[in-house]
Amino acid sequence: DAIDQLASVFLETEGDLRKVMRTLLSSDSFKQAQFSKVKSPAEFVAGVLKLSGTLQDPAPLMGALQAAMGAMGQKLMDPPSVEGWHTGKEWIDGGTLMERVNFAVQQVGNPESPGTQSVAARLANGGSAPAETLVEGCLEAAGPLEASDETREALLAGASAGEHGERVARMLTLVVATPEYQFA
């Protein structure tokens, strides 16, 4: 259906790729595909490192990052076959999910990390952010993510009192452990 629609627009516009792309990007099938694929370990690690802001020079950490991705099931430059890596839910099992969460906690759980400090500064507004603002701001910083009602309630329950930077670090840790963060 989506391919037929794109082919039709292509033929009607005599190959105008701007109109084809506009049709593609505004289609329901394109919008519904968001967050439908489990992030590969490389995508997950890159997203967490971007959020934490700790990786400025990749050289010293490259071995540790490759080991972390290997523990999550993806050895870079060593795919399981000539096809490369499969995509989807095979990236997630009990062991690899634990590796993902542990890696994310190490990276974003430090209130002194540059990314955590940046999010804290955006949300501070002269003091400690209310729970709803904290949750929304951390979901936005990590994605932006569309959290389910159940996830949102759990995050709100975790938005406890404390020093603002520590609350942000704790909330970012909870956000990267959510099912929603595992999807691209």
Q: Which residues contact 113 (CB under 8 A, 6 or more apart)?
A: 52, 53, 54, 107, 169
Q: What is the pLDDT of residues 163-184, one digit of tens each?
A: 888 899 999 999 999 988 888 6
- In contact, 163 and 169? CB cutoff 8 Å: no
Q: What is the pLDDT of residues 63-116, one digit of tens each?
A: 888 899 999 999 888 888 888 887 777 788 888 889 999 999 999 988 898 998
Q: What is the pLDDT of residues 13-64, one digit of tens each?
A: 999 999 998 988 888 877 666 556 788 999 999 999 999 987 766 666 788 8
Q: How many CB atoms lie within 10 A of CB 64?
A: 10
Burial 40-60 (b: 16+ CB within 10 A, else e): bbebbbebbbebbbbbeeeee
